[in-house]
Structure 1
Amino acid sequence: MQKRIRSYFDQFHQTVWVLLIGTVLSRGAAFMTMPFLAIYLSRQDLHPIFIGLTIGMSPLMGTIGGFIGGHLSDRYGRKPIMLIALIGTAFSYLSFALVESPYWFILLNAVLGLCNSFFEPTAQALMGDLTSKEKRMKVYSLRYIAINIGASVGPLIGAFLAMTNAKLTFLITGTIYFLYAIILYIMIKKVTASAVIKNKTTLSQAFNIVKKDRALRFFILGGILIAIGYSQVESNLPQHLTDSVENSVMLYSILLSLNAIVVVLLQLPFSTVMEKYQPMQMMVVGSILTIIGLLSFGFATTWTVAIIGMVLFTFGEILSFPSSSLLIDQLAEDHLRGTYFGASQFRNVGSFGGPILGGFLLSQVGGVMAFVIISIICLGSIAFFSLGNRVNQIKETEDITLDI
C-alpha cells in the first residue's frame, strides 16, 4: 500500500504537487470571498449594472494581462512571474478589507484580475513543462480537482462570514495568498531553475504566431461565448435566486459546494473517458450540458430545480475545463507554452461582458428571460468548438502525412 501511494506521487514532479496543494489552499480562500462580493455590494444599494461592472473588471484585466504574463514567463521564466502575481493578489485582497468607496472595489478587482491572469497561465505552463505528454490530461484534471476541493469548503465558510463579518474574509484570503508566495519561493527555488525553455521571441512576434493558429482562434471565440454563461454563476445567479427562491444565500452556498464536490468525485473517472476523444469534442458536449444547466437556473423556483441545474452545469465544466488546458498544450510549441496559455485568456472577454450583460438583462426583463437569453448566446460556442475541432483534425492529418 505504501509503495502504491509513493508510486502515485512519484509520477509527477514535486513542483507540480506544490502547485496543486497551493491551489487547494489559495482557491479555497478565494471561493470563500469572491462569490459573495456581489451580495456584499448589493447590500450597499448599488445598481445591478454597477455590480456587474465591478465583478467584470477582474476578467477584463485578465484578458489584457494573460497574454502578456504568459509571454513574459516564456521569456524570463515561470517562477518570478508567479511570485509577483501572488504578492499582487495578496495585496488586492487585503486592501478590499480597508476601502469603503465602491470605486475602490472596481480598481482593486482590476488589479486582482491582472495578477490572476499572470499566475494562472504561467502555473499551467509550468505543469506542462514538468509533465510527460501522456500524463498531462491527468495533471490538468488534478489541477481542476484541486480548485474544487478548495471551492467545496470556501463557500460554506464564506456564507457564514458574509452574514457576520464580510471584511474578515478578505483579510484571511490575502494572508493565505501571501503565505503561498513565501512557500512557493522556498520550495521551488532550485528545482525550477532549468524547467523552462527560454526564448527571445518578442511580444509582437508571439502575437503574430498565435494569431495565425485557426484552431486557437475558434477555441477563443467559442470560449468567449460560453464564458458569458459561466460568469452568471458568480455575478447574477445569487441576485436571481434572491428573488425566486427562499433562503437564497444558503442555497447559493450549497450550489457552489455541490459544484465542487461533484468535480472532486467525478473528474478523474471522466478524464479516463475524455482521453479517447479530441479536446474540442469534449468542449462541445460540455457546452450543451452547461446551457441546459443555465436554463434550469433561470426557471428555478425551488431548491430541487436549482440543484439539478447545478449538477448538469458541473458535468459541463468537468468535460470542458481540463479539455481546454490539454488543447492549448497540444497546440503550443514547448517554447511558446506560456504564450499560448496566456492567449487563451482572451476568452475572458466573455467573463467581463457576461456580468454586465446579465446585470442589464436582470434589471430590464427579469431573471427568467435573462438566463434564457444568455443560454441562447452560449449556443454559438458549439459552432465555434465544432469548427475548431475540424481544423485541428485536418492539421493533425497533415502533420502525420509530413512525418511519413
Structure 2
Amino acid sequence: MEHIKKLHPVSATIIIGTLFARMAMFMTIPFLAIYLTSVKGVSASLAGAIIGISSIVGLFGGFFGGYFSDRYGQEKVMKISLLMWTFVFIGFATAESVWTFFLLNALNGLCRSFFEPSSRALLSQVTKQENKLLVFNLRYAAINVGAAIGPLVGLKIGASSSTTAFFITSFVYFLYFILLVVMFSKYTIEQTHGDISEHVTLRRAVGVLGKDRVFLFAVIGMILGVIGYSQFNSTIPQYLSQYKDGVQLFSYLIVFNAITVLVVQYPVSRIGKHYSALTSIMLGIGAVALGLFGFGLFTAVPMLFVSMFVLTVGEVMMFSMTDIFIDQIAPKHMKGLYFGSMGFTAIGNAIGPWIGGLMLEHLGYGNHFLIFSLLALCTSIGFPVFLYVGGLMKATKRHIEYSL
C-alpha cells in the first residue's frame, strides 16, 4: 500500500485500467488464431497474417500516435483510442467475412499503437523520477495479472469458438473510457513541452530519430527479440492445437506464463537494478531463444512448462526494462514520439506469426524441432545487435541508472 500512495491518481487509474483492459483483451486475442482456423476454416498462414496485421499497422501507428501525443496531448489521444477500441470489438463479435477480421485487427493495432505510447508518456510525465521504475513495473504487473485471469475466463466462455468474449471486451474498454473522462476532468495535466516553439514538427521528429543510432539499433535488436516472443501468440497455439486437449494446454500455458511473470518480476527487477537495462534486455533475448528451442526439443508436457518458464523469464528481462531504457534516452519533450516509435518493433510481431505459420504449413507440424530451432536462431541474433548498442552508448556517454 505504501507504494500505491506514491502514485499520482491518474497513474493509478491507468494502471488499474490496464489491468481490466488487458484481462478483457486476453479473453479474446490469444484465441483468435484458433477461432479463425477451427471455426472460419482459414489456413495456418492466413490466420498468422490476420494476427500479424495489427502489428503491421502498429509500425506506423506507433510513430504517428506518439507524435500526436506530443503535439496535441496524451489525454485526447487516449480517449479517442479507447472509444474506437469499443467499436472495434463489437465488430469482432459481429464479423462474418475473413477479410473483415483483417480490417478489424488492423484497427485493433491502430488503437493500441495510439493508446500505448500516449499512456506511457503520460505515466512518465506525472511520475517523479525516483518512482518511475515502480510505476512502469506496476503497469507491467497489471498487464500480466490480466493475462493470468483473461485466458481462464476466455476458455470458460469458449472464446475459441464463440463471440461472447468480444462483447465483454468492448464493454470493458467503454468503461475504461468513461473512467478516464472522469479522471481527466478532475485532475488537469499540465503540458511539459515548454514553449510552443518546442512543439515537434513531423519533419523534425523524423530527423531526430533518423540520427539517433542508439535508438535505431535498439529497435532492430528488439525486432529480433519480438519475432521470437510473437510465436507464443500464433505458432505455439497452432502447433499445440493439433494434439488432444491442445487448446486447453495452451490456455494453461498462458496462465502459467502470466503467473510466472508476477512471481519472477520483483526478484528480476531487484537483481536487474545492479545492471544496466541494456544487459537485462540482452539476457532476456537469449532466454526467449532458449525457451523457443525447448518447444522444438521437447514434447512431454512438464518440459513444455519448463520451456515456457525460461521463455517467460526472458520476457520479463526483455520487456520490463524497455520502457525504462526509452524513458532515459528520449528528450523530455519527445517522450511520446520515442515510446511510439518503439512501435516499429512491431515488425517482429507482424512477420513473426507469418514466418511461423509458413514453417508449419510447408515443413509440417511434426517437424517442430527444425521449426523452433530456426525461430530460436533468428531471435538470438538480437543479442550481438544489443552488444553493438552498448558500444554506441559508451561512445556517446548515454547511460541508464535506475533504482527501486
Report the TM-score when normalising by structure 2. 0.94
Q: 2:24 is matched by which residue type in structure 1?
A: A
1:84 aligns with 2:85: no
- CA deviations on 1:62-98 (whole Å, 9 max, x unpaired) are 1110010001111111110001111111111111011
| Alignment equivalent of 1:179, drawn from 175, 189, 197 | 175
Deviation at 1:296, TM superposition (A): 1.2
Tell me the SS of whatever aligns to 1:45. Answer: coil
Structure 2 partner of 1:247: 245
Structure 1 partner of 2:124: 128
Following the alignment from structure 2 to structure 1, what is the Cα–Cα distance between the partners of residues 274 and 162? Answer: 45
Report the TM-score when normalising by structure 1. 0.94
Following the alignment from structure 1 to structure 2, what is the Cα–Cα distance between the partners of residues 359 and 209? Answer: 36
Structure 2 partner of 1:344: 342
1:371 aligns with 2:372: yes
Following the alignment from structure 1 to structure 2, what is the Cα–Cα distance between the partners of residues 222 and 192? Answer: 38
Deviation at 1:322, TM superposition (A): 1.8
Distance 1:164-1:57 versus aligned 2 partners, 3 A rule: closer
Distance 1:192-1:251 versus aligned 2 partners, 3 A rule: farther
Deviation at 1:164, TM superposition (A): 8.0
Q: 2:319 is matched by which residue type in structure 1?
A: F
Deviation at 1:224, TM superposition (A): 1.0
CA contact (8 A) 2:32 2:160 kept: no
Distance 1:191-1:277 versus aligned 2 partners, 3 A rule: same
1:200 aligns with 2:199: yes
Structure 1 partner of 2:23: 28
Q: 2:25 is matched by which residue type in structure 1?
A: A
Following the alignment from structure 1 to structure 2, what is the Cα–Cα distance between the partners of residues 358 and 377? Answer: 12
Q: How does 1:106-185 map to 2 (within 5 A)?
A: 106-162=102-158, 166-185=162-181
Following the alignment from structure 1 to structure 2, what is the Cα–Cα distance between the partners of residues 102 and 269? Answer: 44
Following the alignment from structure 1 to structure 2, what is the Cα–Cα distance between the partners of residues 397 and 304? Answer: 43
Distance 1:191-1:27 versus aligned 2 partners, 3 A rule: same
- CA deviations on 1:307-326 (whole Å, 9 max, x unpaired) are 01110011001111121111
| Overall identity of the aligned pairs, in % | 36
| Alignment equivalent of 1:327, drawn from 319, 325, 328 | 325
Q: List alignment gaps of at least 5 residues for structure 2.
A: none
Distance 1:51-1:126 versus aligned 2 partners, 3 A rule: same
Following the alignment from structure 2 to structure 1, what is the Cα–Cα distance between the partners of residues 132 and 320? Answer: 9
CA contact (8 A) 1:27 1:150 kept: yes
Distance 1:297-1:121 versus aligned 2 partners, 3 A rule: same
1:52 aligns with 2:48: yes
Following the alignment from structure 2 to structure 1, what is the Cα–Cα distance between the partners of residues 175 and 298? Answer: 40
- CA deviations on 1:321-362 (whole Å, 9 max, x unpaired) are 121111100110110000000111101011101111111011
Q: 1:232 is matched by which residue type in structure 2?
A: Q
Structure 1 partner of 2:294: 296
Following the alignment from structure 2 to structure 1, what is the Cα–Cα distance between the partners of residues 92 and 112? Answer: 16
CA contact (8 A) 1:74 1:196 kept: no
Deviation at 1:398, TM superposition (A): 9.8
Deviation at 1:165, TM superposition (A): 5.7
CA contact (8 A) 1:126 1:195 kept: no
CA contact (8 A) 1:79 1:192 kept: no
Following the alignment from structure 1 to structure 2, what is the Cα–Cα distance between the partners of residues 150 and 392? Answer: 35
Deviation at 1:52, TM superposition (A): 0.8
Q: How does 1:252-291 map to 2 (within 5 A)?
A: 252-291=250-289
Structure 1 partner of 2:397: 396
| Alignment equivalent of 1:104, drawn from 65, 75, 100 | 100
Structure 2 partner of 1:402: none
Tell me the SS of whatever aligns to 2:362. Answer: helix
Q: List alignment gaps of at least 5 residues for structure 1.
A: 400-404
Q: Give the aligned CA root-mean-square deviation in angstroms.
A: 1.6
Deviation at 1:393, TM superposition (A): 2.5
Number of residues paired by the alignment? 393
- CA deviations on 1:98-138 (whole Å, 9 max, x unpaired) are 11000000000000100100001111111111112232222
CA contact (8 A) 2:92 2:101 kept: yes
Distance 1:250-1:97 versus aligned 2 partners, 3 A rule: same
- CA deviations on 1:351-404 (whole Å, 9 max, x unpaired) are 1011111110111113412211111111111111111122123222699xxxxx
Distance 1:397-1:295 versus aligned 2 partners, 3 A rule: closer
Deviation at 1:197, TM superposition (A): 2.3
Deviation at 1:203, TM superposition (A): 1.1
Following the alignment from structure 2 to structure 1, what is the Cα–Cα distance between the partners of residues 252 and 50? Answer: 24
Q: 1:87 is matched by which residue type in structure 2?
A: L
Relative to structure 2, which stretch is displaced further, 198-207 or 230-239? Answer: 198-207
